[in-house]
Amino acid sequence: MQNTTSSMQDTVALSIDGSHLLERLIELGSIGRNEAGSLTRLAGSDQDKQGRDRLVSWLQDAELTVSVDVVGNIFGTWEADAQRRPLMVGSHIDTVIDAGIYDGCYGVLSGLAAVEALKLLGYVPLRPIVIAAFTNEEGVRYQPDMLGSLAFVGGLDLSTALGAAGTDGTVLGNELIRIGYKGSQALGAVRPAAYLELHIEQGPVLEAEDFSIGAVEVVQGISWQKIVIDGVANHAGTTPISHRHDAGYAAARIVSFLREYAFHAKKPSVATVGTMQFEPGAINIIPAKVTFTVDLRDPDEIRLRDFEFALDRFIQKIAAEEQVTIKAERLARFDPVSFDQTVVSVIEAAAAKREKSCRRMTSGAGHDAQMLARICPAAMIFVPSRNGISHNPLEFTEPEQLIAGANVLLDSMLSLLR
């Protein structure tokens, strides 16, 4: 796509303002910290509002048109020929509990930095460019995860999205109203021509193999369930083992089954029990009820289904052995997603142009891009995570790696805009 300053782009080594990006990452990462200093900005929370407000002010400073849709997705649009579908660049700014500062925020702020770099150069886009921050990508307080982008692409109806029940008894729609982010823009009012998402890898691959950039071609499948085990409360001292209906024991058996199955299934199947509550929860009462979550992932849909089936069979076995009742409720289920090969190649070419080593890879984490891929060509750019750590305050990526990734995003955007 030619434009008034395309020749300039070819000659001037276009780059984002790296120090400004790093400053904003740190500033946004300072919003939502408790007195102990840990960072949590769960979707729809006061902390989420503070982060959203800060992002909106940055989008406005960049003279983008800010809009919010009915599930709270935030869009900053660089207006151009409205007859042409926009290029969308996005991610999320909600976080997990006790989070790092890069997950999601890095992609949104790098998209903004790329737009600012283009504006500074006098670039005149012939199609709109939209920076997006999607609601509740993490899925910690409300399920499913990627809820905002899923609703945006038409994968979740509005009432179900707004009616999502929080782990804390709240309802997403009410919280969005409370924090002032239940917008008026209809779902899917923006139909992107293509979507790019820059994100930290959150895993060990790029660092272990010494690559600067990941050109992501697949996001693995995700299966989230809530398991409720009902046993019988009884006295910890007087109840013979043979007389027990111990919900805690049954839960422990399921947790170890998941690890053994995933371990013997060989990589890349993974399983995680991240939350577990005991009731009534006393040292000397055999647990009457245990509620916990199961997160299964695999890039192969058949293997993921096999895992779900094996878990279901094991649950039935344990329920019969311990004489407890076990119910499973689906919280989220997304098949593996393959990204658009043209967009993946654009990312590889952009990395090569910057002389950054790049490898194609699968994402172990879920991302908004896997939802956008349902409605337009989409792909992701990864940068390394130190020690492969994420969803942890130790999450870290070297500044020069962050800046390299943002410049590859900028070049990929320009290629797609052409």
The rounded distance, in Å, linking the Cα atoms of 264 and 266 is 5
**Is 71 or 369 the residue whose CB approaches Mn ion more closely?**
369
- Whole-angstrom Cα distance, residue 50 to residue 28? 9
To the nearest whole angstrom, how small is the minimum distance from the Cβ of residue 229 to Mn ion?
Answer: 28
Residue 125 vs 299, nearer CB to ligand HGY: 299
What are the C-alpha distances in Å from 181 to residues 70, 147, 195? 8, 15, 23
User: Residue 135's closest CA among 25, 42, 24?
Assistant: 42
3-state DSSP assignment of residue 137? coil
Q: Which CB sits closer to ligand HGY, 138 or 175?
A: 138
Ramachandran category for residue 281: left, alpha or beta (phi over 0 → left; psi -120 to 50 → alpha): left
Rounded to a whole number of angstroms, the minimum distance from the CB of residue 204 to Mn ion is 16
Q: Which is nearer to ligand HGY, 52 or 92 (CB)?
A: 92
Kindly tell me which residue out of 44, 76, 366, 377 binds ligand HGY, with binding defined by CB under 6 A. 366
Tell me the chain's radius of gyration from C-alpha atoms: 23
Shortest distance, position 145 Cβ to Mn ion, whole Å: 8
**Which of 139, 148, 183, 203 forms a contact with ligand HGY (CB under 6 A)?**
139
Place of tokens 């979550």: 293
Q: How many residues belong to the site for ligand HGY (CB under 6 A)?
A: 6
Compute the residue count for the chain: 418
Is residue 324 within 8 Å of 245, Cβ to Cβ?
Answer: yes
State how far the Cα of 368 lies from the Cα of 130, in Å rounded to an integer. Answer: 15
Q: Does 271 bind ligand HGY (CB under 6 A)?
A: no
Among 69, 94, 116, 138, binds ligand HGY (CB under 6 A): 138
Residue 145's binding partner among ligand HGY, Mn ion, none (Cβ under 5 to 8 angstroms by kind) is ligand HGY
Residue nearest to Mn ion (CB): 104
Are 109 and 92 a contacting pair, CB within 8 Å? no
Q: Given candidates 48, 69, 94, 145, which one binds ligand HGY under the rule CB under 6 A?
A: 145
Helix (H) or strand (E) holding 251: helix 247-264
Q: From Mn ion, ligand HGY, none, which one binds at residue 104 (CB under 5 to 8 Å depending on kind)? A: Mn ion
Cβ proximity to ligand HGY, 97 vs 265, nearer residue: 97
Which spans of this chain sit near ligand HGY (rule: CB under 6 A)? 137-139, 145, 365-366
